[in-house]
Amino acid sequence: MAEKETPKNLPFSFEAERAVLAAMLHDSDAMLAGLEVLREVDNLAKRDKADSQSKKRKGFEGTTLFFHTPYQHIFDLIVHLEEQGVKPNFVSLLEAANKRKLLDQIGGSSAIMEVIEAAATGSEVIHFADIVKEKFLLRRLIYSTNTVLDRAFEDSEDATAILEDAESALHEIADSRHRGAFVRIGDMLEPVQQALLEAFERKGVVTGVQTHFTMLDEMTSGLQRTDLIILAARPSMGKTALALNMVENIASKSKQTVGFFSLEMSTTQVIQRLLSSLSQVDLQRLRSGHLSMREKTRVLNALGNMAPLPIFVDDTPGLSISSVRGRALRLKHQQPDLSLLVVDYLQLMEAGASRGQRSRQEEVSAISRGLKAIARELEVPVLALSQLSRGVEGRESGEPRLSDLRESGAIEQDADVVMFIHRKKVAHDEET
């Protein structure tokens, strides 16, 4: 199927684009204010274009922050000069345009002078910048929608993949509309005060989500909302078992919803492990079916107790960070009391569109940053299981360190809490 033509009546404001540039060139404070509004979305537009050129994302070749190409070039020159510590004016812009061979594309020196002489004041820069940003986001929404339609009509991809990409793109656009800014601490005291009052009433140490492991809860005050918690160990040390024990406790004792991304095991295997824990029946015996009458009774009782537990498992292998984010957002929408997200395990996640473009360490670092962002966005603790490198086995004590985190990159920097499983008998047996 031939690709549909891009709509010719795309939203833009020629006047606002010229006015914001003029205002930024007239006043240094306006320059900083305009860049604060526009720089982030400009980076988004440039990333879209780069993704299109590398075939990672179709349909975004013409996406630019400024619809009028000469104005986009002038804005790029302003950003470049500002980063170099050079004040943008007619002379510096003209010189930079010549060096970059952009003067003809801009329309000559007269086009630069036309912008500088345009009627605009620094006090209006935020207003004009918001218009330019809003029009860009509308165009990006149109490009995103057209891309989804093209992929759907081609009928060559799985519908789930298209839906997840569409959902991720829409969330990205929505996030771009809200820029960060300074907040007066006095305006934020009320929620802090409320949290303190609740803690006073509880008269306990746990302010986050209780794992019901007493020593762990005392050390962490519970799993705090917005925290990224890393649980790391070498293979077969019990990472998944411990995580599932936490999941079971939170769902059964606290009656809170838990989401579990199982990238290594199927949902059936996860259920079998939970059932083994709840029934206190050995997992291998449970799988084999060689059970005594007492064990069968315990298993049947455990099945009945498991049914109402608010545990949600997604066993899709190789999920990207955008897919995890989209699915977590949906679960949060369906289950507002979502109290914990578990990822088993971090190194099995895919890097998404950047796969093969960066080193695996850079990819894992991007994944850990993404998980931290999900925790903050959903205000839910994220527990990510992680492998340790073989370096820990060569150490005499066998005690793990932060540097042992496999493909660690920025994992230890992104994490709020890092927990290791260390069993001396397994790590280092002096008798062997």
Write out the catalytic residue numbers. 264
Distance of alpha carbon 340 from alpha carbon 118, whole angstroms: 54
Q: Radius of gyration over alpha carbons of the chain, in Å?
A: 27
β-strands 311-314, 338-344 pairing: unpaired
Q: What are the strands of the beta sheet with 311-314, ordered from one edge?
A: 311-314, 257-262, 338-344, 382-387, 228-233, 417-420
Instruction: Give the SS3 label for residue 57.
Output: coil
343 pairs with which residues across the strands?
261, 384
Q: Which of 287, 316, 314 is nearest to 299 (CA)?
A: 287
C-alpha dist (Å) from residue 330 to 98, 335, 369, 417: 50, 8, 20, 26
DSSP annotation string for 347-404:
GGSB-GGGTTTS-HHHHHHHHHHHHHHHHHHHT--EEEEEEBPGGGGGSSS----GGG
Name residue, tokens 């630019």: 64
Bond into 143 cis (ω within 30):
no
CA-angle at 113, arms to 112 and 116, nearest 5°: 95
Contact 48, 63 (CB under 8 A): yes
Instruction: Give the SS3 label for residue 73.
Output: helix
In the chain, the largest separation of any two C-alpha atoms, in whole Å, equals 92
Which residues, including other chains, have CB under 8 Å from residue 98's CB and lie 6 or more apart? none
Distance of alpha carbon 248 from alpha carbon 287, whole angstroms: 20
